[in-house]
């Protein structure tokens, strides 16, 4: 039936102009990278450190950008005589790229420190990622919900992700956690209001949090697709109640709804059409760089 009613989509109007821009060059981090390189070349190491730290605070960075930023930060700190800070930067770099080699022509002092750090990392036990999640409580429909988590020892290239779905549906959507600028270990993700519409009846949303590396290997998590966490979305104006309170209430008896459903079906047929005109949907637009 659906197919029979579905129309044939019209052809897209296209005016393609192909470019070959490396994606790592897009955005403010790329500009900071260039600026920091210029400052290093000019011997302005303090300024370079500030530029790089500012760039590392950007919310969206590619792995390639992170590696390059940490490489330059390590170099700048070493030139400033801050060996401990240089070590921190190179440790981050080597966590993500254990086989990363310094460019040829790197100063001998840098090469020696780099080799020492690499050797230390080889002997060092990998620190496990630590994840703390404060479970979500029931919320009122029609409002966004923010989930805050704390992640420690997050390796370069790894990211926490929030997966969610309405209980009873099959697939999980996802939301990206963003690092809080003032607290580097604190991450926040927002479930937008349109994913939690206000309805007349309470419904549940299942979710889980997963920290995965660049190869999508799970490093830590709270809940999973088979055993998700859960919270309820209640109708506007209804005070939060615990699950035990609801048991035994008349509206939890399925026979009540069977009876009501028969009566409502006829009226619902007309109402569904009218309501359909007022419904809203989502649209996903994909911007590509080719």
Partner 1 sequence: MKRAWHVLLMCALGACGPEVDAGSVHGLEVVLSRAFVDRLGSFQVSILAGANTLDPEAVEKGCVASQGHTYVQQLDARGQKVKARSFDAAVTGGQQELKLGGVPYGREYLFVVEALSADETPVLLGSGSARVQAFQGDVRLAPITVGALTPTPACDPRIR
Interface residue list for partner 1 (CB under 8 A): 1-2, 4-21, 23, 25-28, 30-31, 59-60, 62, 142-144, 190, 192-195, 269, 272-273, 276-290
Q: Rounded to the nearest whole angstrom, what is the least distance from the CB of residue 14 to partner 1 in the complex?
A: 3
Nearest to 221 by CA among 232, 213, 212, 234: 212
Strands 229-234 and 139-140, by their bridges, are parallel
Q: Rounded to the nearest whole angstrom, what is the least distance from the CB of residue 133 to partner 1 in the complex?
A: 21
Nearer to partner 1, 18 or 247 (CB): 18
Q: What are the angstrom distances between the C-alpha of 203 and each of 37, 230, 257, 284?
A: 53, 10, 16, 25
Q: Rounded to the nearest whole angstrom, what is the least distance from the CB of residue 280 to partner 1 in the complex?
A: 5
Q: Rounded to the nearest whole angstrom, what is the least distance from the CB of residue 233 to partner 1 in the complex?
A: 13
Specify the long-range contacts of residues 39-48, CB closer than 8 Å, at least 24 apart: 39/76, 40/72, 40/75, 40/76, 40/79, 45/76, 45/79, 45/80, 46/80, 48/72, 48/76
Q: Rounded to the nearest whole angstrom, what is the least distance from the CB of residue 24 to partner 1 in the complex?
A: 9
Dig out the tokens for 159 from the structure: 């990211």
Q: What are the angstrom distances between the C-alpha of 60 and each of 63, 110, 133, 179?
A: 10, 29, 22, 9
Dig out the tokens for 286 from the structure: 């994909």
Nearer to partner 1, 10 or 239 (CB): 10
Nearer to partner 1, 227 or 286 (CB): 286
Nearer to partner 1, 247 or 262 (CB): 262
> Which residues, other chains included, contact 158 with Cβ-Cβ below 8 Å and sequence gap of 6+?
129, 211, 212, 213, 214, 219
Q: Rounded to the nearest whole angstrom, what is the least distance from the CB of residue 25 to partner 1 in the complex?
A: 7
Q: Rounded to the nearest whole angstrom, what is the least distance from the CB of residue 220 to partner 1 in the complex?
A: 22
Q: Rounded to the nearest whole angstrom, what is the least distance from the CB of residue 279 to partner 1 in the complex?
A: 5
Nearer to partner 1, 106 or 271 (CB): 271
Nearer to partner 1, 79 or 231 (CB): 231
Nearer to partner 1, 15 or 242 (CB): 15
Q: In the chain, what's the furthest Cα-to-Cα distance?
A: 85
Specify the long-range contacts of residues 55-61, CB closer than 8 Å, at least 24 apart: 55/28, 55/29, 57/179, 57/181, 58/27, 58/28, 58/29, 58/32, 59/178, 59/179, 60/27, 61/29
Nearer to partner 1, 12 or 239 (CB): 12
Specify the DSSP class assigned to residue 59.
S
Dig out the tokens for 114 from the structure: 């780099």
Partners of 165 in the β-ladder: 206
């Amino acid at each position: 039936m659906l197919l029979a009613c579905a129309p044939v989509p019209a052809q897209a109007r296209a005016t393609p102009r192909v470019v070959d821009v490396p994606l790592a060059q897009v955005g403010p981090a790329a500009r900071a990278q260039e600026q920091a390189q210029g400052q290093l070349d000019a011997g302005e190491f303090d300024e370079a450190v500030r530029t790089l730290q500012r760039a590392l605070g950007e919310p969206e960075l590619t792995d390639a950008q992170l590696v390059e930023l940490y490489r330059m930060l390590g170099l700048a700190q070493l030139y400033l005589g801050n060996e401990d800070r240089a070590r921190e930067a190179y440790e981050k770099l080597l966590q993500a790229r254990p086989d990363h080699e310094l460019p040829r022509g790197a100063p001998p002092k840098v090469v020696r420190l780099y080799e020492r750090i690499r050797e230390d990392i080889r002997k060092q036990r990998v620190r496990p990622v630590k994840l703390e999640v404060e479970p979500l409580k029931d919320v009122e429909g029609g409002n966004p919900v923010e989930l805050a988590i704390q992640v420690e020892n997050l390796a370069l290239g790894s990211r926490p992700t929030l997966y969610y779905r309405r209980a009873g549906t099959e697939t999980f959507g996802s939301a990206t956690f963003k690092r809080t600028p003032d607290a580097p270990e604190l991450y926040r993700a927002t479930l937008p209001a349109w994913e939690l519409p206000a309805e007349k009846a309470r419904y549940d949303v299942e979710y889980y949090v997963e920290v995965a590396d660049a190869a999508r290997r799970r490093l830590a998590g709270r809940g999973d697709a088979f055993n998700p966490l859960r919270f309820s979305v209640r109708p506007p104006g209804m005070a939060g109640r615990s699950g035990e309170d609801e048991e035994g209430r008349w509206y939890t008896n399925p026979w009540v709804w069977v009876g009501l459903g028969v009566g409502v079906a006829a009226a619902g047929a007309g109402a569904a059409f009218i309501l359909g005109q007022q419904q809203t949907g989502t649209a996903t637009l994909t911007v590509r760089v080719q």
